[in-house]
Amino acid sequence: MKNINLNIKNAGAFIDDDVFGKFIDSASKNLKLLESGKGAGNDFLGWLKLPYSEEFREINRVANKIRSQVDTIVIVGIGGSYLGAKAVISAFESDFLKEKPEILYAGFNLDGEYHQQLLEYLDNKEYAIIVISKSGTTTEPALAFRLLKNHIENKIGKNKASHRIIAITDKSRGALKQLADNEGYQTFVIPDDVGGRFSVLSPVGLLPIAIAGFDVEKIMEGARDIDKATDSSNGFGNNVVIQYAAVRNSLYSVGKKIEILTSYHPKLYYLTEWWKQLFGESEGKQNRGIFPAGVINTTDLHSLGQYIQEGERMLFETVLSVKESKTRLVVNEDKENLDNLNYLAGKDFFEINQKAQEGTIMAHKDGGVPVLEIDVEEINEYYLGQLIFFFEKACAVSGYMLGVNPFDQPGVEAYKKNMFILLKKPGFSKE
């Protein structure tokens, strides 16, 4: 298996060699700092060990049991407690065929209509609930779980319901842990030293992914392989973590303040969402940080494409470039050719999509947008494991280069405080 690779040929022209040299040194130094465990937020480095954990065996056992019992699973969580699982599951599940078990999500917004419709849909389903919250106190999933707990208990009875609920939370703290203990739910632990957005390779991501029927062992294998290939014994020339961290920070230093993660595969939409959270929450603090945005092409070439081509030149683009596809859908010949598309007859969609990607990269570079390409052989569990762990490591190194603690998120509290005052939560007032 080849490792993912970073192609920077369409970004080099935008970076001065001297400047780049300094950022390569800084990325190498900060990778060593991450490995030493002495950097900021070093009480949250447990994610570095996750690819080597054997817990996936127990996860697979429990997942197989639940899969045989129900036709629907509701994953309750927000931010790092659901985006990783959703990124992987939606990369593989069919857009049309509803496989069993069907995976649904709740607790990632405060929309009454969404949750009302979900409860109505569940009226006629045999379902189980996986509720995920590290803190065990986050309002959105806690509220959704209150609704779902009530619904399932009314539907099948409290005792049976307690065997259909699994909680993934802190080992001892938080309201969810307390509730799980009182009700006798099976639990999985989110380790103390693993933050939400770095938790996809823990039970937070692996249990839902295994329940959906995907191979978590392959994900872990991919993560381990890229971990080894990006330790600090590998210098700039063959270390994608150093390369990515150095290039994006070089571009940031010359005013490229927005990074767009671009994919030509709609199934990677939620991987982009996960990536946006990872980099946004990790780097955006102390008035610093590259703003992470995402597009799915060619769809967004017909919406944001105009801005990327000719708008303000403060952005750069990182394209997730996939080399192979399992699907071959070939364009048919048409005798009449009224649509003038016979020039594409015999070509498959993957090839046409690749040409759209190549043409767009050339256009963006000519339009003043530096383009990095992350080359991935194909979209499977192994390569998603590589991508996830690569992005986590690169994010940590990049955050250190910016001089921030990549593992906290103090700014997230500001909205919560105001919301709690407005909702008159006990213990919260304006003074």
Q: Which residues contact ligand PA5 (rule: CB under 6 A)?
A: 78-81, 133-135, 138, 141, 195-197, 281, 409
Q: Taking a C-beta distance cutoff of 8 angstroms, is the pair 206, 59 a contact?
A: yes
DSSP at 105: E
* Alpha carbons 195 and 214: distance in angstroms, whole number: 24
Please provide the DSSP assignment of 256-270 as one string: --EEEEEES-GGGHH
Dihedral through CA 161, CA 133, CA 95, CA 305, nearest 10?
Answer: 160
Q: Which of 281, 283, 381, 392 is catalytic?
A: 281
128 forms beta bridges with 73
State how far Cα 407 lies from the chain centre. Answer: 16
C-beta of 72: minimal distance to ligand PA5 in Å?
Answer: 22
Tokens of 197: 């957005």
Which C-beta is closer to ligand PA5: that of 343 or that of 415? 415
- Minimum separation from the CB atom of position 398 to ligand PA5 (A): 16
| CB-facing half-sphere around the CA of 126: CA atoms within 13 A | 10
What's the full length of the chain, in residues?
431
Pick between residue 35 and residue 408 the one whose CB is nearest to ligand PA5: 408
Please, which residue, 250 or 282, has the CB nearer to ligand PA5? Answer: 282
Is 416 an annotated catalytic residue?
A: yes
CB closer to ligand PA5 out of 80 and 294: 80
| 391 neighbors 272 (Cβ within 8 angstroms) | no
Whose CB is nearest to ligand PA5? 196
Q: Which candidate in 100, 160, 347, 416 is catalytic?
A: 416
Bridge-based pairing of strands 5-10 and 371-376 is antiparallel
Measured between alpha carbons, how far is 351 from 357 in angstroms, rounded to an integer?
10
* Given 38, 54, 113, 302, the catalytic residue: 302
User: Is 281 one of the annotated active-site residues of the chain?
Assistant: yes
Q: Do 42 and 239 touch, CB atoms closer than 8 A?
A: no
Closest approach, Cβ 415 to ligand PA5, in A, equals 11
Nearer to ligand PA5, 132 or 223 (CB): 132
**Rounded to the nearest whole angstrom, what is the least distance from the CB of residue 198 to ligand PA5 in the complex?**
7
CA distances from 327 to 184, 212, 352 (A): 45, 21, 13
**Minimum gap (Å) between residue 75 Cβ and ligand PA5:** 12
75: β partners: 105, 130
Q: Measure the CA–CA gap between 223 and 384, rounded to whole angstroms.
A: 8
CA 375, CA 247: separation in Å to the nearest integer? 16
Active site residue 302: yes
Q: By C-beta, is 321 or 398 nearer to ligand PA5?
A: 398
In whole angstroms, the minimum distance from the beta carbon of 403 to ligand PA5 comes to 20
Catalytic center residues: 281, 302, 416
